[in-house]
Amino acid sequence: MASTVPHPDTAEPTRRDFLYVAAGAATVVGAGLAVWPLVDQMNPSADVLALASTDVNLAPIEMGQSVTIVWRSKPVFIRHRTADQVREAAGVPMSDLPDPQADSLRVKDGKAEWLILVGICTHLGCIPLGQKQTDSRGDFGGWFCPCHGSHYDGSGRIRKGPAPRNLEVPPYAFTGDTTIRIG
Amino acid sequence: MSAHGPRREYDNKILRWIEYRMPIFSTAEGIIGRDMPTPRNLNYWWSFGALLSIALGIQIVTGIVLAMHYIPASSMAFDSVEHIMRNVNYGWLLRYVHANGASLFFFVCYIHILRGLYYGSYKAPRELLWMIGVAIYVIMMATAFMGYVLPWGQMSFWAATVITNLFSAIPVIGDNLVTWLWGGFAVESPTLQRFFSLHYLLPFVIAGLVGLHIWALHVHGPSNPVGISPKGPQDLVPYHPYYTSKYLSVMGIFFIALFAFVFFEPNYMGHPDNYIPANPLVTPAHIVPEWYFLPFYAILRSVPDKLGGVILFGASIAILFVVPWLDTSRVRSARFRPIFKQFFWVFVAVGVALGYVGSQPAEGVMLHIGRILTVYYFAHFLLILPLVGWFERPKPLPESLGTPVLKPAGGAAE
Ligand code: HEM
Ligand code: FES
């Protein structure tokens, strides 16, 4: 634009320059306003966002057993850990963890036997194995993602493989001694 | 490409009437007809471009009729494909032609790209022509990926999950971007529906780019196996009938191959798990992409870091865009580049080996082989292409396309 060219005679921006800039800016804003609905329609729609929370009764889950439930169309892993498993998970030194987080921060106070996780590998979204007794649980006794070989420990923390983060803990709260609400 | 008034006097009255108003026939003849001067020495490797347009046409025609029966909703997609297979008249044929046609499309495309790499077709003044070609290839990959999601089997679903999750590696905006791509918090019906919309659209975008590709081709004409430019009319023949007839015979072989698959091994290139309906709670023990993505999949998995893997994955394809500037040799054809020629074949072997590694579980020795091959893949472009161009002493180039015997004596560039 003329005003940006340092020329001795036209160093001062003219009225015409102002009109150019104002018209250009208005066009950009207008184009942005027109494009936004086209972009935003792809985001989750109201009914998807409205998906309610899920209540789970933990009472039937035996010590050592794992179950998978669905929340917001994602699998949620619930593992009723044995005292040994809790002790082992709590005893891992932070320096061994690519994404350091204490086991105690991944469970609710006084409920360390209940581990609740979003069952989606943080690498590229596969469902790790380890929920069934017959599944491979990887090298650290938790879960193993067969897609590209990520190993999670008994607290759902990443230990080995390409996944960058620990298995996510969903927002949940105990609504009774053995009932939780996820979401 | 702009001309005023008729460019050719046709005997046929109707042709002449139309031609006077819109010179569509003479334009077509200037592109693939008698008015297109073409180097006299094109070999069979030059027929794959024409084959690609046929393959695109087959995909569009079969795709449009499949879309008359297919239902893009997660609850019905799988069943609608089974409905096509069992109930729709000739539905099995149309679907198998579409699915195997996609595979053959990629096979032909890879030969076409390798032809370009071997004969240096990307060199000046054809850089833009080459780059448009790479853009077509990228959109082809997107199209095939989204098409593969449509039958909504286990492989469809998990391919969609893994590939869309690649974007979650992008710092800061990654997670929001993936939610936006999905239209939800996982791959679900909204994802399937938008993939169908785009799967329908993108082939026509490809068709448009093919138009630009051919336009660029016509500015300087095709390159040729010797790699020197035609010196005059004695080096050229009309495209029609010389090359149209040659390419039609190749097309016959293409159709034999396509229908050999369609009628005898229609599921050879597919994966049996894709006949299991999508289950968002169970990932198949061993997920693999379609064969044509395997080399890049191997590169993705060879990096033990998520973002790093995604970057290399993207770079392994994007690097093709800059090949014209990485290759420092001024000699086009590998025929006159004894060292480059050997590296070319090593590169082809590395590509095939990467494909094999990509088909195997990412464990143990395969992971290490994959890493070495990945390093070589990039070294080919970033080190070998520039360095060989500098140090290699090319063989003497012939005087003209017609000169059958090479003069002895050294001397490099044109
Ligand atoms: C660049 C061109 C195209 C390519 C590479 C391509 C590729 C594919 C692939 C790989 C599949 C999965 C086949 C299977 O395993 O069942 C597919 C399915 C499908 N495609 Fe295309 N396609 C192309 C063009 C089109 C066009 C233009 C349409 C028109 C609407 C279309 C409509 C469909 C439909 C309805 C399906 C689902 C039915 C089925 O699975 O067979 N495709 N496509
Ligand atoms: S998705 Fe789990 S390791 Fe890649």
Token representation of residue B160: 């969609």
> Is the minimum distance from the CB of A150 to ligand 2 under 6 angstroms?
yes
In a domain, A94, yes or no: yes
Token representation of residue B136: 């077509």
Dump pLDDT digits (tens) for A58-75.
Answer: 999 999 899 999 988 889
Residue B305 contacts A, CB cutoff 8 Å: yes
Which residue stretches of B39-126 are H helix?
48-66, 77-86, 91-119
Distances (CA, A) of B398 to B38, B39, B40, B414: 18, 15, 15, 9
- Nearest-Cα residue of chain B relative to residue A76: B281
Q: Mean pLDDT of all residues in chain B?
A: 92
Instruction: Determine what percent of chain B is predicted with pLDDT higher than 70.
Output: 96
Question: Mean pLDDT throughout A157-162?
Answer: 90
CA of residue A129 to ligand 2 center, whole Å: 11
Question: Mean pLDDT throughout A141-156?
Answer: 91
Q: How confident is the model at residue B322 (pLDDT cuts 50, 70, 90)?
A: very high
- Nearest-Cα residue of chain A relative to residue B305: A162
Q: How many CB pairs under 8 A join A and B?
A: 83
Chain-chain contact of A45 with B190 (C-beta, under 8 angstroms): yes
| Nearest residue to B74 (alpha-carbon basis) of A68, A73, A69, A40 | A73
Q: How confident is the model at residue A4 (pLDDT cuts 50, 70, 90)?
A: low
Calpha distance B345→B339 (Å, rounded) = 10
The strand pair at A74-80 and A66-71 is best described as antiparallel
Place of tokens 């993939």: B195
Chain-chain contact of A162 with B304 (C-beta, under 8 angstroms): yes
Residues of A with Cβ-Cβ distance to B185 under 8 angstroms? 44, 48, 72-74
Q: Which atom of ligand 2 is nearest to the CA of A121?
A: 2
Q: Is the pLDDT of residue B2 over 60?
A: no
A25 and A57 fall within a common domain: no
**Whole-number pLDDT of residue B65:** 97
Tell me which residue in B183, B282, B286 faces A127 most closely, judged by beta carbons: B282
Q: How confident is the model at residue B30 (pLDDT cuts 50, 70, 90)?
A: confident
Calpha distance B150→A89 (Å, rounded) = 42
What value of ipTM does the predicted structure carry?
0.81
Specify the long-range contacts of residues A92-96, CB closer than 8 Å, at least 24 apart: A92/A153, A92/A155, A92/A157, A96/A159
Residues of A with Cβ-Cβ distance to B287 under 8 angstroms? 126, 147
A129 and A175 fall within a common domain: yes
Question: Mean pLDDT throughout B262-278?
Answer: 95
Whether the upstream peptide bond of residue A8 has omega within 30° of 0, thus cis, is no
Residue B41 contacts A, CB cutoff 8 Å: no
Question: Mean pLDDT throughout B16-44?
Answer: 89
Distances (CA, A) of B344 to A20, B347, B388: 53, 5, 11
Among protein residues, the one whose CA lies closest to atom 26 of ligand 1? B63
A86 and A171 fall within a common domain: yes
Q: How confident is the model at residue B6 (pLDDT cuts 50, 70, 90)?
A: low
Q: Is the pLDDT of residue A151 over 50?
A: yes
Q: What is the CATH number of the domain that holds A178?
A: 2.102.10.10
Instruction: Determine what percent of chain B is predicted with pLDDT higher than 90.
Output: 80
Chain-chain contact of B179 with A43 (C-beta, under 8 angstroms): yes
Chain-chain contact of B190 with A124 (C-beta, under 8 angstroms): no
Calpha distance B187→B181 (Å, rounded) = 9
A53 and A125 fall within a common domain: yes
In a domain, A4, yes or no: no
Q: Mean pLDDT of all residues in chain A?
A: 89
> Is the minimum distance from the CB of A159 to ligand 2 under 6 angstroms?
no
Token representation of residue B68: 């008359």
A14 and A70 fall within a common domain: no
A175 and A157 fall within a common domain: yes
Q: Is the pLDDT of residue B394 over 90?
A: yes
Question: Mean pLDDT throughout B274-290?
Answer: 91
> Is the minimum distance from the CB of A158 to ligand 2 under 6 angstroms?
no
**Chain A contact probe: residue of B154, B161, B182 with most A CBs at under 10 A:** B161
Q: Is the pLDDT of residue A2 over 90?
A: no
Token representation of residue B263: 């009628």
Dump pLDDT digits (tens) for B69-83.
Answer: 999 999 999 999 999
CB B296 within 8 A of CB B313: yes
Q: How confident is the model at residue B199 (pLDDT cuts 50, 70, 90)?
A: very high
Chain-chain contact of B287 with A70 (C-beta, under 8 angstroms): no
Chain-chain contact of A42 with B304 (C-beta, under 8 angstroms): no
Place of tokens 């050997």: B342
A57 and A132 fall within a common domain: yes
> Is the minimum distance from the CB of A127 to ligand 2 under 6 angstroms?
no
**Whole-number pLDDT of residue B1:** 43
CB B367 within 8 A of CB B297: no
> Is the minimum distance from the CB of A162 to ligand 2 under 6 angstroms?
yes
In a domain, A134, yes or no: yes
Chain-chain contact of A48 with B303 (C-beta, under 8 angstroms): no
A109 and A81 fall within a common domain: yes
CA of residue B67 to ligand 1 center, whole Å: 9
Dump pLDDT digits (tens) for B324-371.
Answer: 999 999 999 999 999 999 999 999 999 999 999 999 987 789 989 999
Q: A57 CA to chain B: closest CA distance, Å? A: 20
φ and ψ of A172, to 5 deg: -155, 165
CA of residue B179 to ligand 2 center, whole Å: 18
Among protein residues, the one whose CA lies closest to atom 1 of ligand 2? A124
Q: Is the pLDDT of residue A9 over 70?
A: no
Q: Is the pLDDT of residue B294 over 80?
A: yes
> Is the minimum distance from the CB of B66 to ligand 1 under 6 angstroms?
yes
Calpha distance A18→B108 (Å, rounded) = 55
Q: How confident is the model at residue B4 (pLDDT cuts 50, 70, 90)?
A: low
Which residue stretches of A8-136 are H helix?
15-40, 46-49, 83-90
Tell me which amino acid residue A168 is.
E
Question: Mean pLDDT throughout A32-36?
Answer: 93
**Whole-number pLDDT of residue A8:** 57
A37 and A118 fall within a common domain: no
Q: Is the pLDDT of residue B85 over 60?
A: yes
CB B25 within 8 A of CB B15: yes
In a domain, A13, yes or no: yes
Calpha distance B263→B320 (Å, rounded) = 35
**Whole-number pLDDT of residue A6:** 56
Provide the phi-psi class of A133: left if phi over 0, else alpha when psi is between -120 and 50, else beta: alpha
Host domain of residue A70: 48-182
A113 and A172 fall within a common domain: yes
Q: How confident is the model at residue B413 (pLDDT cuts 50, 70, 90)?
A: very low
Question: Mean pLDDT throughout A29-53?
Answer: 89
A18 and A62 fall within a common domain: no
- Nearest-Cα residue of chain B relative to residue A39: B180
Higher pLDDT, A14 or B130: B130
Task: Name the DSSP letter for residue A162.
Answer: S
Distances (CA, A) of B246 to A100, B41, B52, B126, B239: 65, 12, 15, 24, 10
Tell me which residue in B163, B185, B303 faces A72 most closely, judged by beta carbons: B185
Residues of B with Cβ-Cβ distance to A74 under 8 angstroms? 185-186, 280
Higher pLDDT, B143 or B309: B143
A154 and A93 fall within a common domain: yes
**Whole-number pLDDT of residue B364:** 80
Tell me which residue in B162, B181, B190 faces A124 most closely, judged by beta carbons: B162
Place of tokens 């088909």: B359
Q: Is the pLDDT of residue B201 over 80?
A: yes
SS3 B301: helix
Q: Is A123 a catalytic residue?
A: no
Question: Mean pLDDT throughout B25-32?
Answer: 86
Question: Mean pLDDT throughout B234-253?
Answer: 92
Calpha distance B355→B358 (Å, rounded) = 5
φ and ψ of A168, to 5 deg: -70, 140
Domains held by chain A: number: 2
- Catalytic-labelled residue, pool A7, A80, A148, A151: A148
Q: How confident is the model at residue A47 (pLDDT cuts 50, 70, 90)?
A: confident
* Predicted structure pTM score: 0.89
Question: Mean pLDDT throughout B239-255?
Answer: 93
Rg of chain A, C-alpha, whole Å: 26
In a domain, A19, yes or no: yes
CA of residue A160 to ligand 2 center, whole Å: 11
Question: Mean pLDDT throughout A13-24?
Answer: 92
CB A130 within 8 A of CB A81: no
Chain-chain contact of A43 with B183 (C-beta, under 8 angstroms): yes
Tell me which residue in B162, B301, B305 faces A125 most closely, judged by beta carbons: B162
Residue A126 contacts B, CB cutoff 8 Å: yes
Instruction: Determine what percent of chain A is predicted with pLDDT higher than 90.
Output: 66
The strand pair at A141-145 and A54-57 is best described as unpaired
**Whole-number pLDDT of residue B303:** 86
**Whole-number pLDDT of residue B242:** 92
In a domain, A2, yes or no: no
Calpha distance B102→B105 (Å, rounded) = 5
Q: Is the pLDDT of residue B408 over 70?
A: no
CB B217 within 8 A of CB B110: no
